[in-house]
Amino acid sequence: MNTQMKKYVLPAIGFLATYLLGVVVMNYELHPVTAAQILTVITFPLCPAVFVSTAISLKWMRPHQKKYFWRFTAGMTAYVLGIDVANHIHAPPSPYNFLLVLLPVLPMIYVCFVIIRYIADSDEMWRKIYMEAWAFSGIATGFTCFSYLFLRDMGAPVFRAEWAFYLMWVYYGIGMFFSKWRYR
């Protein structure tokens, strides 16, 4: 297998293996019944699968990509720890308990700045590709969320806020595909 083939095949194999293992383990542990539980079993393993795939790809990344990968990883680790701390601290009722909710928000602000700096430090062509993908993602997510109001009026289930976040990333992937294809 040549180097170019390894660059794409090994991360894909790592992604699929991690994702399938995560789905099997979560299905075994949760025994999903409701639609929300099934959606959790399908979507939650995507995060570790993407992380494993990216970690395998580190060998072929340029130095500035590695730098931002580690910054992003540090921010996401702090986010997960913030959620864990916020969920496991049982403080007596107080008007300041809402501050615990901010624990995971601060690392996410850091992650946003890391992503923005990564795009700003990219070359002009990649910056254009990223911005087109984000523009498509933002517009498509907005129109989808707004259009769902009509479906809700017809009896569709209530639209949960985190669905918009997932939709944004799906649309970003679609936008990246078409933007990269356009500038190939």
pLDDT tens sequence for the chain (184 residues)? 677 777 788 888 888 999 899 889 888 888 888 888 888 888 888 888 888 888 888 888 888 888 999 999 999 989 988 888 887 777 677 777 777 778 889 999 999 999 999 999 999 999 999 999 999 999 999 999 999 888 888 888 888 888 898 899 999 999 999 999 998 8
Among 146, 137, 136, 123, residue whose Cα is nearest residue 166 = 137
Is-contact 134 168, C-beta < 8 A? no
Residue 165 identity (one-letter amino acid): F
* Domain ranges for the chain: 1-60, 63-111, 122-184
Query: CA-CA distance, 173 to 45, in Å (whole number)?
Result: 17
Range 99-108 burial, b when 16+ CB lie within 10 A, else e = eeeebbeebe
